Amino acid sequence: MKRGSILLLGLPYFGRLLVRDLAGLGWDVRYIDHPGRHVTGWAKVATAATRADIVYLIGSRIDRGSPQDNLLRFRRKPVVIHWVGTDVQIAVDEHRRDNVALRIAERATHWCDAPWLAEELRTAGVKSEYVPLPIPVAEQEPPPLPERFGVLLYYPVDRMARAVFDIDTMLRLPAAFPDVHFTLIPSPPETLPKPLPPNLTARPWVDDMDPLYRETTALVRLTTHDGQSFMAAEALSRGRYVIWTHPMRGSIQASGFEQVSAALRSLVERHRNGGLALNAEGRRAALEQFGGGRPLAELDERLRAMLPG
């Protein structure tokens, strides 16, 4: 059924997934990459924004004079901002500098992809609701845990994104567990501090994560600030274990080398003793939250409510 038109802007990974999902429901949806400093690119965005029923930004700025501020200066039709992580941290910093554009804070509809982000945004004067993004969790029967205990680490390539990741702890773990194999994505070896531990493999961007999850027993994600991790939900849905700085049902919350290594040691010992089964609690939690198309159905309902009667 035809819904309406949406212009999607913002973070490419999330945007392209959402284009596929919303188009499948009948939305006329288009994603445009950030035009950078190209005047013609911004003209293209402006034209598309004028025509769209809804402008939907995944991640945003909130400062005065930003492109988002200028967009809301002229646009009267709905604008949605879906906050997803570091963008919230930046918004709070702008609020401390008394540099929040009231047009963005008051006229846009604000959603966030993790419950704790709503409270952070409130401190910046932004009223938001927790609305989960659709995550492609695995609903089919998960493969067994691998015979060799494997740990998956995530450390982005982008310098600004790296600022919230605890790379020091991540790179200490392989030496503490010399018999465990670690895989780090999506940063190639030449972008990491040398020398790398012999039991650590660093790989660039991986398009098909399923084979990698099959080789993984535990995902370790260590951040000082975060939104909802897609990888955490994906790993849990496959019955894998997740050690994450932030709370998520079915995962192990830990931060810093001592806590993280203790959590990992417990899993490794259970594996060696033959007592480590699939993470059934984590899989159940991920599927209850993200399975069955529930987040997409909620998103569709909210967006349809914004269309003119």
Classify residue 77: in a domain, yes or no: yes
d(CA 91, CA 193): 31
**64/114 same-domain check:** yes
**232/298 same-domain check:** no
**Which of residues 159 and 227 earns the better pLDDT score?**
227
Digit-coded pLDDT (tens) for 190-208:
999 999 999 999 999 999 9
Classify residue 98: in a domain, yes or no: yes
**121/206 same-domain check:** no
**216/231 same-domain check:** yes
**267/300 same-domain check:** no
Classify residue 141: in a domain, yes or no: no
**239/182 same-domain check:** yes
**39/25 same-domain check:** yes
Task: Provide the domain limits for residue 258.
Answer: 150-289
**281/188 same-domain check:** yes
Residue 84: pLDDT band by 50, 70, 90 thresholds?
very high
Digit-coded pLDDT (tens) for 284-309:
999 999 999 999 999 999 999 999 87
* CATH number of the domain that residue 121 is part of: 3.40.50
Instruction: Note the pLDDT of residue 1.
Output: 66
**Structural domain count of the chain:** 2
In the sheet where 5-10 sits, what is the strand order?
28-31, 5-10, 54-58, 79-83, 109-112, 129-130
**15/124 same-domain check:** yes
**127/177 same-domain check:** no
**73/98 same-domain check:** yes
* CATH number of the domain that residue 208 is part of: 3.40.50.2000
d(CA 164, CA 240): 24
Classify residue 139: in a domain, yes or no: no
d(CA 285, CA 283): 5
The mean pLDDT of 151-173, rounded to a whole number, is 95
Percent of the chain with pLDDT over 70: 100
Q: In this structure, how many other beta carbons lie within 10 angstroms of the beta carbon of residue 150?
A: 21
Cβ proximity of 239 and 218 under 8 Å: no
Cβ proximity of 251 and 222 under 8 Å: no
193, two tokens: 């501090």
Percent of the chain with pLDDT over 90: 93
**107/189 same-domain check:** no
